[in-house]
Structure 1
């Protein structure tokens, strides 16, 4: 189920019922994380524009502070931006994120593009989230307007349905 989209917000290329595009991206240690290797458990893929920016920090801190909701549901959290690995590592250390931050830096935004949440004009990922089930199928997605954070309650409702 897709969350309702406000007027003027683009719809991602991938939505409920679609297979999630497979990808491999480096984490903050440079270790490749391959979505296909995570089959067998649900995964939440959260795209965000920039590390260290205000809304992105508040969104990811809210996820960090409520990580037990995802762990209880058996959902692995992957947060993806077009920032380089070194910036993500510094941000993860500064904020104490206990989940994976992945770098879609090069080829720049390729994974965000595959999900339909890359903004070519500004060169960064939009605020798109995709709940992928254990079989690799997207079960829920949302795309928020630029200056509006995603709602934690929307995540909780999606977790209750998987």
Structure 2
């Protein structure tokens, strides 16, 4: 499946957080959403990216002009994500796309069939549920949170 492009509606989804809570994209309408797909918890580049997101929370909200929901999605199990979030001190939702394996990652065009994980794809979704900005990096290539700040400022 191909990734949604700027100007198109973001595919809806409902996933569980590292705490077992349900998050539905539709429930976040009215606020900006930063949707970040990453390959695996406990890996070097992913850990660094998520730590950077944790540290950029205030900058992201200021750029969005209010509330922005940062959602990080991987195909790891909810239980693994809980340990990972606790270990790294991450307080934003880590969403598990574990089962059915990779369905949401596929909807967003970022699932790597050969490796069985999400690739590094990011989507800025406006308060109306429309994708406004995207970036897709290869597995070894970290993304820059400054790019997210700029994209959110453009909403």
The TM-score range, normalised by the shorter chain, is: over 0.9
Deviating 4+ runs (over 6 angstroms) = none
1:85 equivalenced with 2:78 (yes/no): yes
Question: Match for residue 118 of structure 1?
Answer: 111
**Number of equivalences:** 152
Question: Match for residue 21 of structure 1?
Answer: 11
Distance in 2 between residues matched to 1:134 and 1:14, nearest whole Å: 16
Query: Any residues of structure 2 matched to 1:51-66 within 5 Å, and which?
Result: 51-66=41-56
Distance in 1 between residues matched to 2:68 and 2:19, nearest whole Å: 22
Distance in 1 between residues matched to 2:137 and 2:13, nearest whole Å: 22
Gaps of 5+ in 1: 1-11
Question: Match for residue 127 of structure 1?
Answer: 120
1:45 equivalenced with 2:35 (yes/no): yes
Question: Match for residue 5 of structure 1?
Answer: none
1:68 equivalenced with 2:61 (yes/no): no
TM-score of the two chains, using structure 2 as the length reference: 0.95
Per-residue deviation, 1:71: 2.4
Question: Match for residue 21 of structure 2?
Answer: 31
